[in-house]
Amino acid sequence: MANFPVALTIAGSDSGGGAGIQADLKAMASFGVYGTSVLTAVTAQNTVAVTAVQEVGPEVVEAQIAAVLDDFDIKAVKVGMLASSPIVRAVAKGLAGYCGAVVLDPVMVAKSGDSLLRDDAVAALADELVPRATILTPNLPEAARLLGREPADSIPERTEQGNALLQLGPSAVLMKGGHAAGTECHDVLVMRDARPRVFASARIDTRHTHGTGCTLSSAIAASLARGHPLPAAVEAAHTYLHHAIRAADRLDLGSGHGPVHHFHWDTRHDH
């Protein structure tokens, strides 16, 4: 019998369950992938605000990575919230001997607007982990912060910023367009030695968008864990997230930015 595909998420916990580790594991399960996890921080969080953050000690983060990699055949790793430069360095050290795909989501700000990455950690992220990434998945403000620029307005600007981020070392960059205006959302995939690809979907009018970045990057990692090539993995994840957002109003959870519907394909629990 073939081995069940296994992926690893390295991220923070969201007590509201819509983002972070919780969203990652739900997305991976939706793709038929067994998800393992390494916790970098515990947040007191709901759909309205992040009210407290407790970082996990770097040595414990590194020990978690070692424990998972020692016992599981990890096909892909998703890296999310890292909080501080010591944690960034611990993750880089923990993944030093890992040769599989790494999806790096440079989580900097929660949907509520609360900061999730210290200023000193941005430089550490660019130096220590971005060059290791199979694909970097920034939203427009995150890409701008990594480059020290203003957020890109147009698809050509996103492509140009994606190419600039490639110079930092990742094999590919997905410039996510969720923060842009317009009736369509355009994600731009920039790769080495290949033409850029644009993934478009109709923008959905909903307040339930909590955890979209975590969900997308985890879906990419899950698809890669299943053996799909990168462009196909991005396309599958883009389509999955679009439907998860479209179905989010069926959940209608929380009074702020509610979560997307990770199991939108399963209508047995919808009422």
Q: List the catalytic residues.
A: 176, 209, 211-214
Write the DSSP symbol of residue 161: H
User: Is the Cβ–Cβ distance between 214 and 20 less than 8 Å?
Assistant: yes
Both ends of the chain: CA-CA distance in Å?
Answer: 37
Angle at 38 between CA 34 and CA 40, to 5 degrees: 145
CA distance 117 to 189: 24
Name which of 140, 258, 269, 130 is nearest 206 in CA terms: 258
CA distance 236 to 31: 10
Query: Virtual CA dihedral for 168, 21, 115, 175, nearest 10 degrees?
Result: 40
Name which of 77, 6, 11 is nearest 45 in CA terms: 11
CA distance 95 to 168: 18
Which 3 state secondary structure label does DSSP give 153? coil
Strand-pair partners of 186: 200
Strands (E) located in 92-208: 101-104, 135-136, 172-175, 184-191, 197-202
